[in-house]
Structure formats: C-alpha cells, structure tokens
Amino acid sequence: MLRSKLKPALAYLVLIVPSSLIILGFLWLLITSFSTRVEGLQSLGWTLNNWRFLWESPFGPQYPSIWTVTLNTLVMSLIMTLIVVVVSSLTGYALSRMKFPGRKGFLSLTLILHAFPSVTLLIPIYFVLLWIAKIPLIGRDVPLLGGFGYNTIGGVALVMVAFQLPFGIWIMKGFFDNISWDMERSALIDGASRFKVWWQIIMPNIKPGIAALSIFSFLTAWNAYLIPLTFTAGRAGKSAVLSLYLQNFISESVMTEWNAVAAVGLFQLVPVVLFFLFTQEALLNIYSGGKKGGV
C-alpha cells in the first residue's frame, strides 16, 4: 500500500524539484518587472514604471515605439516560419518519397551546412544581401518587409530561413518517413497527382511535425540577435527587432536597469507563450505517437 503511494510521490518529487527552479525564475521575472527593487522574491515597492515602455519610449521621442519593433519582429518571424515550413515540407517529401540522383549527397550537404556556425558565414551573406538589394521590386521598398536586401526585415528573415532550412528538412523528412506508403499508394492508384497526395493525404498526417517545426522556427526568429544585429543598421533603426531593443537596456558602460529588462523580457515572452498555447495540442502529439508506423 505504502509502496504504491510512494512510487507516484517519488515521480512527482522528481518533476517538481527541477520544475520549481524554472518556475521560481519566472516568478522572479514577474515580481521584478513590477517592483522598484527586489530582494530575492520580495518586492521592496510596487510600480508600473518598468512597463512605461508600452506607452512611451524610454530612450526619448526619436526612438521607435515598442509596437513598431514588435511588428517588425512578428513580420520577420512569421515570414521565416512560413517559408521554412513550406520549403521543408516540399523538400522533405521529395527526399523521403522520391529517388533521384544526388539525393543522398543533398542530404549530407544540408547536414554539413547546418554544422557551419552562423558567424563564419556573416560576410558572404552580407554580400548576397547587397546583391539582392539591387534586384528591382524585391530588393527595396516592399511594404511591411522593406525588401529582401541589407537592412530590411525581409532580408533578415531570408538569412534566418537559410540557417533554419537544413534542420527543417531533416525534421520533415523524418516525419514523412514514418507515414505508411499504403495511404499514398491508394491515393495514387485512385488517380491523385503527386501534389494532391502531398497536400491532401500526407500533410494532414504530419500536423505535429508542422507544429513542431513552426514553433522552433518562430522561436529562433523571435529571439534572434546576431543576424538582425549584423544585417540591420542600428538598434533604433527602421528594422529594429525586440532582441536588439532589449539590448538597449543592457550596456557595457552604464548600470543595467534589470527591472526594465525583466519587463521587456516578459513582454517578449508573451507572443511565444500564446503561440505555444495555440500549437501545443499538435505539438504534444509528437510524443503521443502521431501516425508513426502508419494507420
């Protein structure tokens, strides 16, 4: 009797101890963001002042509003997520289901590309973006994105796509590999085209994979720092994103306002949590088996 109760209690204990550390961290973040000062988890005075960046720029009237910066980040993240998911799904399907010369070589190549640290490719990518900037229509002055060249939201998204694609292709190929051939064969026998099979038969069966890739891609773009820093001009410029905006509160030479950092950090976290809430059902299906092994 005691043993049967002890076992789940032990399991809960193993879960609660590491989880509580993370929860304490978030709790500190929340308390700090609404406090003038804190000692541990104890607030020494409550204030909304740390959140004033929502209605006024803490860096003067010339600084872009947090809402402009958030819109930039959102557009960049959504564009990147959309392209990564679409391209990875199509590529993953082809690599999983079709035989063509260079297939294995292509797979190895994508893995090698993924192994490159992004910092080593910054300069060549910079020249590519300069070249793209000169292409009429897409290089410059695209509404919302600014374009796909240097110092544009679209350009940063494009670079992020390039870095994320190898990961996405391998993930999606794995999911396609686990879908039974029988379903596809039946559809083909019934006269469906390859595209129809991909779109109507296979894709609905790998929703957990799409959700997983979406959330990983979105998070990567949402929190990206090095690439936006390198390929946009100024943390206060027209293409500023949230991770760069947050850095304005942290300086090498003056005191960091950690309470404001906590508030902006929480603000940056909100869309991620919302995104997770909307996709968690599909995401958790990865671990409950999905369609592994076929229907």
Partner 1 sequence: MKRLFLLMLIACFVVSGGLIALGQDTETVTITVRCRAKPPMEDWRGNNFIGAAKGLNTDLEAAGDPRRVEVVIIQDNIDWGDYVTEFVLSYVANEEPDIWLTGHEYIGVQAEAGRIIALDALMKEFPGFNSVIDSLWNSTSYKGEIWGVPQDAEARPLYFNKALLGELGWTANEIAALPDKIEKGEFTLYDMLTVAKEAVDKGVVADGNGFWMRPSNGPDFTALYYAFGGETIDVATGKLVFNEVAGLDYYQFFYDAAQTYGSMGGLGLGWGDAWHPGVSGSKVLFWVGGTWQWAEWAELFLKDLGGEAYMWETFGIALIPAAEQGGEANSLTHPMAYLISSQCEDPDLALALIEYVTDYGSNTRHAIASTHLGILKEQTEYKFYKDSRLLSETLYMLDYTTFLPNNPYWGPYSTITYEALAAVVGGDFTPQEAVEFVVDGLQRELGDDVIIR
Residues that bind partner 1 (CB under 8 A): 58-63, 126, 129-130, 133, 149-151, 229-231, 233-237, 247-248, 251-256
Smaller CB distance to partner 1: residue 28 or 126? 126
Beta bridge partners of 46: 35
Smaller CB distance to partner 1: residue 108 or 251? 251
Smaller CB distance to partner 1: residue 155 or 209? 155
Q: Quick one: DSSP state of residue 35?
A: B
Q: Residue 76 CB, nearest distance to partner 1 (Å)?
A: 17
Angle, helices 207-223 vs 258-284, to 10°: value is 170
Smaller CB distance to partner 1: residue 173 or 235? 235
Q: Residue 151 CB, nearest distance to partner 1 (Å)?
A: 5
Q: Residue 43 CB, nearest distance to partner 1 (Å)?
A: 17
102 backbone dihedrals φ, ψ, rounded to 5°: 85, 10
The Cα 237–Cα 230 span in angstroms is 13
Other beta carbons less than 10 A from residue 261's beta carbon: 19
- Look-up of token digits 């994103």: 241
Smaller CB distance to partner 1: residue 139 or 166? 139
Smaller CB distance to partner 1: residue 37 or 292? 37
Q: Residue 238 CB, nearest distance to partner 1 (Å)?
A: 8
Cα-based distances in Å from 8 to 19, 211, 224: 16, 31, 40
Q: Residue 244 CB, nearest distance to partner 1 (Å)?
A: 8
Other beta carbons less than 10 A from residue 155's beta carbon: 30
Other beta carbons less than 10 A from residue 266's beta carbon: 18
Q: Residue 226 CB, nearest distance to partner 1 (Å)?
A: 11
Q: Residue 140 CB, nearest distance to partner 1 (Å)?
A: 10
The Cα 218–Cα 121 span in angstroms is 22
The Cα 94–Cα 88 span in angstroms is 10
Contacts of 242 (CB under 8 A, 6+ apart): 69, 70, 73, 222, 264, 267, 268
Smaller CB distance to partner 1: residue 186 or 251? 251
